[in-house]
Structure 1
Amino acid sequence: MRLRRVFGHYPTGVVVVAALSDGEPYGFTVNSFTSVSLDPPIVGFCAAHTSSTWPRIRDAGAFTISLLSVGQEQVCRSFAAKGSDRFSGVEWSMKEGGHPGIDGALAWIDCVLDDCHLVGDHELILARVVSMTTNDVDDDPLVFHGGRLGRLCAGTLATASGNARACRGSPAS
């Protein structure tokens, strides 16, 4: 699909959205996550209409978003897989909002569902931020670009007018 190829040129961060529903943890990988508003703090992401996980999280009405680090590529893949126990082998803990957060993530954002809009083959989800926590790890964020997972080399990030190839060749951990 041409649109997918074109947007493959645009890097995105990777997060896991997770909630408890009927006492069970549910979660899925999202790379369409964004900040929408600073005042009030609102974030957004998209979920496919075909997702069997999103309805469980939506029904919970609240969730935790874990911002994945470059060392969490396998976590990303686990939560993107269909029909599997996504939490199997993944370390997680309950966050302030009462929902699962992935251990080792760069940060966690506890949210309350604000609004959903049907848009094409996805739902656009808007959520109000109720609390945030950062991890004290010095790691790079996990990034999706060109159909691959990798790293944004924050420690060597070049300015637009500087050395644009500063991160070339830096593999994902």
Structure 2
Amino acid sequence: MTVSTQHSPAPHPQAPRESAEGHGGGLSAAVLRSTLRRHAAGVTVITVPGPAGFTATSFTSVSLDPALVSFCLGLTASTLDAVRAADRFAVHVLGAADTALASRFARSGVDRFEGASWTADEGGLPLLDGVPAWLSARVTLRQVVGDHLLVVGEVESGGGHHSGPALVHHDGAFAGLAPLEQ
């Protein structure tokens, strides 16, 4: 009979280990924030009828069958009421050339659609022109999770206009993403 034991790896010698214990923020929120700064995330703009929209890095696929996607929005966001009222949303995947668009939709207290090229579909859903890829979805679930609203939707349609390097958010800034040489 072979017995094996599993040891936890020692913390990286150059990075102090922080505990994420506790509830209600504090150190656990700081650990999460500092860890997620190291995670590169794709940048999207989410739009809903109104029009309303915001920049998000929380977009993800949930399921292929049925085709479900999700995003999260902070409960203090200026677009929260519009997202809660919407039965549909659009996700616009941004490319490296879309930094100004990402910055515009990340600003609070301004008309985010001013200067942006967009059209409304037959249901009033704003679709941004010229983005590398987009999709629209019908809301199937809204759930408050912690200090965010989780929204899940079933994909209805989509399209794209061009390819190129993706726009990502990493270490507090936008960056372009290009394939690495193999």
TM range, normalised to the smaller chain? 0.7 to 0.9
Rounded to whole Å, the distance in 1 between the matches of 2:44 and 2:68 is 16
What's the Cα RMSD here?
1.5
Output aligned runs, 1:10-29, within 5 Å.
Answer: 10-21=39-50, 25-29=51-55
Alignment counterpart, residue 40 of structure 1, candidates 31, 49, 66: 66
**What percent of counterpart residues are identical?**
37
Rounded to whole Å, the distance in 2 between the matches of 1:41 and 1:97 is 20
* Corresponding position of 2:91: 65
- Give the Å deviation of 1:101: 1.6
Structure 2: give runs of 5+ residues left out of the alignment: 1-29
Secondary structure, aligned partner of 2:110: coil
Output aligned runs, 1:1-12, within 5 Å.
Answer: 1-12=30-41
* Corresponding position of 1:56: 82
Would you tell me which structure has more strand in proportion to its own residues?
1
Alignment counterpart, residue 124 of structure 1, candidates 125, 150, 156: 150
* Corresponding position of 1:165: none
* Corresponding position of 2:180: 157
Rounded to whole Å, the distance in 2 between the matches of 1:97 and 1:67 is 21
2:178 corresponds to 1:148 = no
TM-score for both structures, normalised by structure 1 = 0.83
Rounded to whole Å, the distance in 1 between the matches of 2:138 and 2:168 is 25
- Which segments of structure 1 move beyond 3 Å, counting only runs of 4 or more? 95-98
Rounded to whole Å, the distance in 1 between the matches of 2:135 and 2:64 is 14
Secondary structure, aligned partner of 2:49: strand
- Give the Å deviation of 1:131: 0.8
Rounded to whole Å, the distance in 2 between the matches of 1:143 and 1:157 is 15
- Give the Å deviation of 1:38: 0.4
Structure index of larger Rg: 2
TM-score for both structures, normalised by structure 2 = 0.79
Rounded to whole Å, the distance in 2 between the matches of 1:97 and 1:14 is 25
Rounded to whole Å, the distance in 2 between the matches of 1:71 and 1:97 is 28
Amino acid at match of 1:71: A
Residue by residue over 1:50-84, the C-alpha shift from the partner in whole angstroms, topping out at 9 and shown as x without a partner, is 01213213312112111111111111111111111
Residue by residue over 1:83-127, the C-alpha shift from the partner in whole angstroms, topping out at 9 and shown as x without a partner, is 110011111122476411221211111111110111111111111
